[in-house]
Amino acid sequence: MLNNIIKMENIEKWYGKVHALKGVDFSVSEGEVVGLIGENGAGKSSLIKIISGLFPPDKGKIYWEGREVTIDSVKKARELGIETVHQGGLTINYMSVADNIFLAREIKKNVGPLKIIDKVKQNEKAIQLTSELGLKIDSPEKEVRLCSGGEKQGVAIARALYYKSKLLILDEPTEGIAPSGQKNILDFVRKIKEKNLSCIFSTPDVYIASPVVDRYVIIAQGKIIGEINNIATLDLEEIEEMMILKRKLVESES
Ligand SMILES: Nc1ncnc2c1ncn2[C@@H]1O[C@H](COP(=O)(O)OP(=O)(O)OP(=O)(O)O)[C@@H](O)[C@H]1O
Ligand SMILES: [Mg+2]
């Protein structure tokens, strides 16, 4: 039995009157890739933002490596080893690829009494990291706004890998990405797996994540409605039906 890296119990989240998470239990084991599957508005990003320290849950407990924790900031999440590639990227467009990777954690060198950013080292390391991910970015000094959507995701993932995060969260990483870029993203996830790191891969599309996912957790209307542990018996159509059926049930209730 693998250990949980993160375990969340009875998580509730309200946005004013919107009840976005309704008592969610969710966990990820060491070295496991969990597919967090749900339709638009199901609550995937809300759960991910709580894990990433963007805001706390209104109720519920979070355990990290078996100990109860309060993730009250992005800094705290990072200290624990959680790195998130948020939906739509979150790279800073007018900064270079290298500056984005090392943002807030720059490589420094001593020049006399001063500590200054070591741009040469950062650039070298950025080239190494992005090429390890199979990205062919012409220069680490290229501004991120000139990169493709897939390259931007890669920059965010390079950042996560560099900090040796234990849990990498990808919130809809394939959204708006062409098929070739999607393949790159799946390859990134395979690399994460090779390093025995954990990953949450959120998407409304069960088919996209299936080559890399170890277990599916299905969320609908703020509730976990099913889990599929045995990938060997996986029926993707069944998962899709579960998602749609749940929507119909909730619609008929309201
Ligand atoms: N800042 C906010 N204020 C008010 N309601 C919000 C806010 N963010 C999300 N919601 C609502 O909370 C619910 C869950 O949204 P969430 O973004 O977590 O869903 P999601 O599964 O990530 O959807 P998508 O696939 O479209 O990204 C939705 O009903 C959404 O409209
Ligand atoms: Mg979302």
pTM listed for this prediction: 0.84
For residue 73, the 8-state DSSP code is: S
Give Cα separations from 205 to 37, 41, 102, 146, 247 (angstroms): 7, 14, 31, 28, 15
Q: pLDDT-derived band of residue 179, with 50, 70 and 90 as boundaries?
A: confident
- What span, in angstroms and rounded, lies between the C-alpha atoms of 248 and 252? 6
- Cβ of 73 below 6 Å from ligand 1: no
Whose C-alpha lies nearest to ligand 1, atom 26? 40
From 13, 14, 17, 18, the mutation candidate for ligand 1 (largest count of ligand atoms within 8 A of CB) is 18
Between the alpha carbon of residue 178 and those of residues 1, 174, 181, the distances in Å are 37, 8, 5
What's 233's DSSP letter?
G
pLDDT at residue 39 tops 80 = yes
SS3 of 7, please? Answer: strand
Tell whether ligand 1 has an atom less than 6 A from the beta carbon of residue 17: no
Looking at all shown ligands, the one closest to residue 24's CA atom is: 1
- Percent of the chain whose pLDDT exceeds 70: 91
The residue with greater pLDDT, 168 or 183, is 168
Instruction: Count CB-CB contacts under 10 A for residue 19.
Output: 15
Using the mean position of ligand 1's atoms as its centre, give its distance from the Cα of residue 156 in Å: 22
Q: Cβ(85) to ligand 1 under 6 A?
A: no
Mean pLDDT of the chain: 86
DSSP for 91-123?
--TTSBHHHHHTTTS--EEEETTEEEE-HHHHH
Q: What confidence score (pLDDT) does residue 95 get?
A: 85
Report all structural domains of the chain as residue ranges with CATH numbers, in order of start. Answer: 4-253 (3.40.50.300)
